Structure 1
């Protein structure tokens, strides 16, 4: 049987900054520079409701975001040791538990096994995850103040932390806001 020809790679979607006019992109960039996340906690009744909802939709959003970042700002070769491991992200004040894994094709939702704990559990509040993502806080500060917790395989935890530390966030911010640096 003859081999089928390889399918061409799909084009990457444009970054949000590429879709915005220059002046709007500049104004958004200025606001991002001065953005500070206020202290807040998701109200307990909301967290109780969210914890009862299916966790697949928010997990799909997380894996989509991670896959968009993969190879752009998250180096696949550096993350290779995560492949096949069950990772879990717990958003403590929102009642979310997101189970995912890295495969050859990228990040995917993982089905938690009842008889086995995840290989790595990363826990924090919504506010602290947002501060981490926006680089308002660094992982070490959150970790040593016990606002970011990692349980399980410490080598995987260090890999995640070091990968976050290695991302050139200033270059990414410049790219997203359309500024060349």
Structure 2
């Protein structure tokens, strides 16, 4: 009886729909508490070695179209910060394309040449960020951020 009632319950919303509904309601301060530590831990080595110094005071937006999420990052004092300001450059694409970029499942250049990821605005800044990410042999699939990316990748495979 219990199992039958469970089978009649509606399926929970797909992660994409849930994120699209929840993200606009999440305050920037909470996003900062979640995202900034992950990014700063993930890039601790390159940040301390000055690899991202050219981003100091610049703003790059990551627009994940199918999730309806835009994150604008800047660099302040060797630390990534989320900002409300518009990006000088925007990298735009679907969440699966960003996942492929982050995990290096596909060649980053191919993602851009096939226009699955697009740079808008200050293309020089966008290409610099792409090249900095591309230069990381292991991608972003390490530590806590890597765990999150692996979960998203599993979800993406289950949706197909």
Q: Is the 8 A contact 1:47 1:93 kept in 2?
A: no
Give unmatched runs, 5+ long, in structure 2: 1-13, 147-160
Choose the corresponding residue for 1:42, options 10, 13, 16: 16
| Aligned equivalents of 1:165, 1:75: Cα separation in 2 | 18
Is 1:62 the counterpart of 2:31 in the alignment? no
1:133 maps to: 102
Deviation of 1:81 after TM superposition, in Å, equals: 1.1
Aligned length: 128
Residues 41 and 125 in structure 1, CA contact (< 8 A), matched pair in contact too: no
Alignment partner, residue 90 of structure 2? 121
Give a deviation string over 1:59-82, Cα, whole Å, max 9, x none: 543322220122325665221111
Higher RCO, 1 vs 2 (CA within 8 Å, ≥6 residues apart): 1
Distance in 2 (alpha carbons) for counterparts of 1:124 and 1:58:
20
Unpaired runs of 5+ residues, structure 1, are 1-39, 177-181
TM-score, normalised via structure 2 length: 0.66
How far, CA to CA, are the matches of 2:94 and 2:41 in structure 1?
Answer: 23
- Give the distance between the partners of 1:156 and 1:89, measured in 2 at CA: 12
Structure with the bigger percentage of helix: 2
Change (3 A) 1:76 1:105: same
* TM-score, reference length from structure 1: 0.60
CA distance in 1 between partners of 2:63 and 2:36 (Å): 14
CA radius of gyration, larger in: 1
Q: 1:81 — aligned with what? A: 54
